[in-house]
Amino acid sequence: MSNMVTISIDGKSIQTESGKNLVTVAKEHGVYIPTLCYFRNIDPLGTCRICTVKVNGRDTTGCTIKVADGMDIEVNTPELLENRKAIIEMLYAEGNHFCPTCEKSGNCDMQNHAYDMGLTVTRYPHVFSEKKVDFTPKRMIMESNRCILCKRCVEEVKTPDGKDVFSFVKRGVNTRVQIDYEQEQKLSESEALRAMNLCPVGAILVKGMIHEQPFGERKYDLLGKDIKPVVKGNTFHKADDEKFIVATTSLAGCFGCHMSLLDIDTELLDIIEIAEFNKSPLTDIKNFSKRCHIGLIEGGCSNSENVHVLQEFRKKCDILVAFGECAIMGGIPAMRNFVPLQECLEEAYLNGVTTEIGADVVPGH
């Protein structure tokens, strides 16, 4: 028992084994310290900084600390919580972390931390640094614009004969992860998937396996299933036998998604069975005649008229949904042509809303 020490975490006295990692000790005693770069099998790097805590009054990374007797540790002070939030915001701003278009969405540790901290936008301007997206490997894609240099793949992904598949190249702010093409070919499919799952963001992707997990079955999909949404006043309560009332609009002259609905008439007929369209180009109803459950927004805001329409939808609809790539990405010019045409078609047609078997056909293909 001589190796047992007493420490304090947020005022709570804890007895634990001397020399244990602070993140592990905190977790064992019900205190959550968020991490991104930390991984149990790797010597902690402390690069992401979101595990920052105060030890005896001084800021330090929690993942690099080994507990010692008498330590006074602060984890969840207002200052530390705000600092972690700012760090996540800066990580989003400096990389290509657009969650709606990211293949790792729902399985991403950084996305989950952002939601947990209440983040929906970042206060900082996006950097859009031009880093290489490497499609050369046989089985993988390396998206360096998302990499946070956590070193998990470098340390953990080996070939059956023990060779490294990933390595760090260059130095300082130019440091990036590189794939050894020859060694990458030796990995089995399961080993490649493990590499993708090891990555805490969406930097490592496996070709042909990117969208294999359906919504509801991804890593973080079920974490909030017991949370009841708080609904403010002036909302529309739907009886079981009533249809959903839907409004739609096209901003900035963007009309492609509405045309897609008209093209796929079988899907549109299915929707009409459960929904009533109010203000919408599909019905030619120019003004709201009643409050709507859902408002579908297509396109990005480009002028004051668009902003006025968006404000009107916010007032008259219980829920607003970004409808299509343009609205999801807010019309950001840097994202233009980011999503390949084939993926757009497959998303619109193969994954369309329908109950009819065999109706998922891309026209002209």
81 domain-assigned: no
pLDDT of residue 28: 94
DSSP code at position 220: T
89 domain-assigned: no
254 domain-assigned: yes
Which two structure tokens, joined as six digits, stand for 184?
């990458």
pLDDT of residue 107: 87
The verdict on 66 and 150 lying in the same domain is no
248 domain-assigned: yes
Per DSSP, the three-state class of 246 is strand
The verdict on 182 and 69 lying in the same domain is no
359 domain-assigned: no
Number of domains comprising the chain: 3
| pLDDT tens for each residue of the chain, 365 residues long | 468 999 999 999 999 999 999 999 999 999 999 999 888 878 888 888 999 999 999 999 999 999 999 999 999 999 999 999 999 999 988 888 888 778 888 889 999 999 888 887 788 888 767 788 899 999 899 999 999 998 899 999 999 999 999 999 998 888 999 999 999 999 999 999 999 999 999 999 998 877 666 666 777 766 654 444 444 444 444 554 578 888 888 876 666 666 666 555 455 556 667 788 888 877 778 888 889 998 888 876 667 777 888 888 888 998 888 776 666 555 444 444 555 556 655 655 555 544 445 554 444 44
pLDDT of residue 16: 95
Bridge-partner residues for 55, per DSSP? 58, 73
Distance separating alpha carbons of residues 91 and 82, to the nearest angstrom:
14
pLDDT of residue 232: 44
215 domain-assigned: yes
Residues 6+ apart with CB under 8 A from 195: 140, 153, 156, 157, 165, 166, 187, 204, 206
pLDDT of residue 220: 76
- Buried (b) or exposed (e) across 19-28, using 16+ Cβ within 10 A? ebbbbbbbee
The verdict on 211 and 260 lying in the same domain is no
> Phi and psi for 167 in degrees, rounded to 5?
-155, 155
The verdict on 104 and 211 lying in the same domain is yes
What are the DSSP calls for 211-227, one per residue? Answer: T-SPTTSSTTTTTTTTP
What are the DSSP calls for 123-153, one per residue? Answer: SS--------EE--SSSEEEETTT-----HH
216 domain-assigned: yes
Distance separating alpha carbons of residues 237 and 245, to the nearest angstrom:
11
The verdict on 222 and 249 lying in the same domain is no
Range of the domain at 53: 4-76
The domain that contains 188 carries what CATH number? 3.30.70.20
The domain that contains 43 carries what CATH number? 3.10.20.740
Q: Which residue has the tokens 């992401």?
A: 48
DSSP code at position 348: I
239 domain-assigned: no
